[in-house]
Structure 1
Amino acid sequence: MSQVVTVTEPLPGVAQIVMADREHKNTFTDALLAGLGEAFTRVAADERYKAVVLTGYGTYFCSGGTRDALLGIQEGTFTFQPEGVPSAYSLALDCPIPVISAMQGHAIGGGLSMGLFADFVIFSRESVYTANFMKFGFTPGFGSTRIFPAKLGLALAQEFLLTGRTFRGTELAERGVPFPVRPRDEVLPAALELAGNLAEKPRRSLVVLKDHLVRELREQLPAVIEQELAMHAQTLHQPEVRDLVLNRYGT
């Protein structure tokens, strides 16, 4: 298994996937992407698992694309969906059993999109959440244009995506986000409690019901990704985008 992504079984039937690339603050490095792909493949193939908890470490859930990746996309040498690389944003959606995103830490850009593709989401009051694509001057990717409206409602999704602004978990709670918002140290315990509840059900029943509930989203996603890549072709290669990535990344 990866050194930056681990799988444990904290409760019978529950897989806990932990992202802990401390050196890169859980950005989408090759190591993190490969580790996530391996972890979800392993969990999906193991019949004893009935639920998954996906979480990060400390104050970080997932920080999205690396600076080099964003510059590569801007220069046209890379895309957010390169051939042969796991589609991190849809790993939770494609997983046959229910996935809970225990977002105890900051979730940024594609990292937030990935978390929202889970079946259940738990936010942290202290953490920051942002779809910061437009902060750098280019249109969103990672399926964000579909999953944000689906999970957060159109009004809040538009504010996330069009402004690129940052929200604290406390503000999301005040805005009526349709997910629990807990103190950071309560996020993972709440996720494990929920996972334990799910693990009491027959695996086959969970798989069949999840497949029914997410079928439409799974069917729509490939066309959405094509549309997002088409928008990237129009917006990413502007000189202003490179300047914004160079000057604003990490701020």
Structure 2
Amino acid sequence: MTTTAVDLCEVEPGVLQVTMQDRRSKNSFSAELVDGLINAFSEIQAHRTGKVVVLTGFGNYFSSGGTQDGLLAIHEGRSRFTDLNLYSLALECEVPVIAAMQGHGIGGGFVLGLYADFVILGRESLYTANFMRYGFTPGMGATMILPRKLGLGLGQEMLLNGGNYRGAELAVRGVPFRVLPRGEVLPQALQLARELAQKPAVSLKALKAHLVRPLREALPQAIEQELAMHEMTFHRAEVKQRVSDLFGA
């Protein structure tokens, strides 16, 4: 499956690669990218021989998160982030997913990668949970997944502060992921995928389901609580101004 925004191919026996390639939007959550990702993971679920998925971006970008129009639609009450379940595609995938986050992961784009079973970051790239910079509280289950994947201290800092962190800085802060020069991220992810693909599919699926069960069980409550916070924080005039100012910058 190939679209202008997303490419899905079997790069080696058992190894499926999903490449986000919406260059126009820098892999923000455009309609094309969202539809492409949902369709790609639907095809993966039906794939007979796939054992592992590598999710990656292009060039300097993994994913840039929400679009200006998308954020304003939530601000105006025309949509909610739960309208399309983009965020948990990797978590709900039956086979292991490796997020080869070679490029910048911004806001929801960073959260998207953290739902993978393995995460590899680029030393030069920026990673941020920048929701609070726009004046609204995090969504997409970020309040659950960041503390669990990054540790309580760093996860809460990133959520509350909304600052930018280079991969190299996160490595110093002790993130439990490989942090490599950008050009080495995808090759390392593919090597890991080859190793996983040597295992029986039934065992990979059973073990993944067991390992991610606590996350899958915790996510609905986190989403419910985040939506309640959005009702308090997302519809204020200050948010609209911040969105306009930051996208304008």
Report the secondary structure of 1:65's partner residue. coil
Which runs of 5 or more residues in structure 2 are unaligned? none
The residue correspondences of 1:150-169 to structure 2 (distance < 5 A) are 150-169=148-167
| Distance verdict in 2 for CA 1:148–1:250, change over 3 Å | farther
The residue correspondences of 1:175-194 to structure 2 (distance < 5 A) are 175-194=173-192
Distance 1:109 1:233 in 2: 19
Partner of 2:46: 45
The residue correspondences of 1:71-220 to structure 2 (distance < 5 A) are 71-82=72-83, 85=84, 87-220=85-218
Report the secondary structure of 1:107's partner residue. strand
Distance 1:250 1:198 in 2: 43
Q: Which residue identity lines up with residue 10 of structure 1 in the other structure?
A: V
Residue 250 of structure 1, CA deviation: 6.2
Q: Which residue identity lines up with residue 93 of structure 1 in the other structure?
A: L
Residues 163-216 of structure 1: CA distance to partner in whole angstroms, max 9, x if unpaired? 000000110011111100000000000000000000000000000000000011
Distance 1:207 1:232 in 2: 35
Distance 1:49 1:142 in 2: 27
Partner of 1:33: 34
Residue 3 of structure 1, CA deviation: 2.4
Residues 101-134 of structure 1: CA distance to partner in whole angstroms, max 9, x if unpaired? 0000000111100100000000000100000100
> Displaced runs of 4+ in structure 1, greater than 6 A?
none
Number of residues paired by the alignment? 248
Distance 1:221 1:213 in 2: 14
Residue 47 of structure 1, CA deviation: 2.0
Which runs of 5 or more residues in structure 1 are unaligned? none
Report the secondary structure of 1:22's partner residue. coil
Distance 1:250 1:158 in 2: 28
Distance 2:135 2:195 in 1: 43
Sequence identity, in percent?
58
Normalised by the length of structure 1, the TM-score is: 0.97
Distance 1:216 1:158 in 2: 19
Distance 1:185 1:72 in 2: 36
